[in-house]
Structures are given as C-alpha cells and as structure tokens.
C-alpha cells in the first residue's frame, strides 16, 4: 500500500512565524503535491514537484515556498504565517496506474495561525 505521512496532524502557530510542513512518501513516486482545503473552496493546488530539486507553482503559491531535496520528501514552507493561512493542508503523491495518474493523500495537517 502507498503510504504518505505528514509531520503533524495539528499545528498552532503565531502570526509572523516561519512554519514547516513535511510530507514523506514511501513508494518512490516522482510527483508530489501540496494543497490547502477550505470549506466551500475545495482543494486548491499550492505547489507541485515532478522531480528532486524541481518545483512548479500551482494556483495559489503566494505566501508559500517548497523544498524537495530528496525524492521521498516534499516540504511546504510558510515564510511568515498569517491568519488567512489557517487551513487544512494536504500532501499527495501520484502513481501512474491503468492509464491515469492516481493521487494518494496524507492524513492532512490542520494549521491554525493566531
């Protein structure tokens, strides 16, 4: 089974703090993604990576950066946390199977910025 783990399930940070969210997958997947999920807005893509050292902006990259130094690990960084970044953050990696890229998600990190 594909396993995607995220470093924290719940996190509370103060405005202005630098926040690191880490994601690790154990299936040697090349593609990894970071989303945020907010009620009524669905999943919105923040950043993604198709390979080590490679990153691409998604739909809402402002206020975020990412790091992918190793294939299995994809980190999301909030440079200076703000209250509007309070959200559920989901990491995913993809497997190409049966003619499609299937995404496998971690359990999510519920981040609250106060």
Of 16, 19, 14, the C-alpha closest to 6 is: 19
Shortest distance (Å) from residue 98 CB to other proteins: 6
Report if residue 31 touches other proteins, rule: CB under 8 A: yes
State the number of binding residues for other proteins (CB under 8 A).
28
> Stretches 12-20, 68-76, 78-86, 102-110: which one binds other proteins (CB under 8 A)?
102-110
Report if residue 98 touches other proteins, rule: CB under 8 A: yes
Cβ neighbors of 10 (< 8 A, separation 6 or more) are 109, 110, 112
What residues are paired with 113 via a beta bridge? 13
Of 51, 45, 81, the C-alpha closest to 63 is: 81
Report if residue 25 touches other proteins, rule: CB under 8 A: no
Which residue is associated with the tokens 């202005």?
16
> Stretches 11-19, 40-48, 65-73, 77-85: which one binds other proteins (CB under 8 A)?
40-48
Of residues 59 through 88, those in contact with other proteins by CB under 8 A are none
């Amino acid at each position: 089974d594909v396993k995607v783990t995220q470093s924290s399930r719940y996190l509370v940070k103060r405005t202005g703090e630098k926040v690191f969210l880490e994601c690790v997958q154990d299936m040697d997947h090349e593609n990894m993604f970071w989303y945020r999920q907010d009620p009524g807005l669905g999943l919105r893509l923040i950043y993604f990576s198709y390979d080590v050292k490679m990153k691409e902006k998604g739909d809402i990259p402002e206020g975020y950066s990412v790091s992918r130094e190793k294939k299995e690990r994809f980190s999301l960084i909030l440079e200076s946390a703000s209250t509007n970044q309070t959200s559920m953050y989901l990491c995913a990696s993809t497997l190409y199977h049966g003619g499609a890229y299937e995404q496998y998600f971690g359990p999510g990190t519920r981040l609250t910025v106060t």
